[in-house]
Copies of this chain bind each other. A is one copy, B any other.
Amino acid sequence: MARILLAEDDAGQAFVLQSYLEHEGHDVRVAGDGLLALAEYRRSPPDLIVLDVMMPGLDGVDLCRLIRSESPVPIIMVTAKTDESDVLAGLDVGADDYVAKPYSPRLLVARIRAALRRSGLDSHLRRYEIGELVVDAERFEAALGGTPVDLTPREFGILAALATGPGRAFTRREILDLAVGFDHYALERTVDMHLFNLRRKIEHDATQPRYVLTVRGRGYKLADE
């Protein structure tokens, strides 16, 4: 769902949070101190960052200022101090939200969800049209020439995944990751099956597909017109 960078020096807390977030389908990376976090951020910019203020090396406030100067990525600060000045410092350097320790992991997870929603990232919720085919992720519905098509959740998920990049060829693994989740282990063959069933529902002639195209040696793609 989203790639989250967790900068937290307390390994225990980090692990708990990581579990929660991964359970929600996020891709979580943990950095034990500020410098590692910065390196990780540079190596692969995440969709959201959770920063502990108190960290060895580079502390959260400085790190926040640094990152904020390069990117508008949502940053949530976590602090043990209840001191208001701490909150202010955090917001001052551009943090998007802040949570005081001790916090319940679920509260922080909720804040993260809210921040992601705000950043519009959890909304690959959009509407795609390819010829007669309409894929509406918001309504979780697909239609063909105005007529709703009855798809199973997996079929819809895979179709929506392909629809995020019409014309782009996805591997089966990419499709599984996008439609089912990173932590899901199914044979890649399964994707074939779903697309086979999907074709029976939306293709006029399954041997001559109009929408779901096979890319031999790679995977599948959605026609882009």
Contacts and interface: CB of A to CB of B under 8 A. Distances in A.
Nearest to A167: B139
B107 A177 contact: no
B107 A183 contact: yes
Nearest to A118: B70
Interface string A111-140: 101100010000000000000000000111
Given A69-B96, A70-B118, A153-B217, A88 B169 contact: no
A62 interface: yes
Contacts of A168: 138-139
Contacts of A154: 217
Interface string A2-40: 000000000000000000000000000000000100000
Interface size for chain A: under 10, 10 to 19, 20 to 34, or 35 or more residues?
35 or more
A218 B153 contact: yes
A91 interface: yes
A65 B39 CA distance: 25
Interface of A: 35, 57-58, 62, 66, 69-70, 84, 87-88, 91-92, 96-97, 104, 106-107, 110-111, 113-114, 118, 138-141, 152-154, 156-157, 165, 167-169, 173, 177, 182-183, 185, 215-218, 221
Identical copies of this chain, number: 2
A173 B113 contact: yes
A113 B177 contact: yes
A167 B148 CA distance: 13
24 contacts: A35-B84, A35-B87, A57-B84, A57-B87, A57-B88, A58-B87, A58-B91, A62-B92, A69-B118, A104-B185, A106-B185, A107-B182, A110-B177, A110-B182, A111-B182, A113-B177, A114-B182, A138-B165, A138-B168, A139-B169, A140-B215, A140-B217, A152-B216, A153-B217
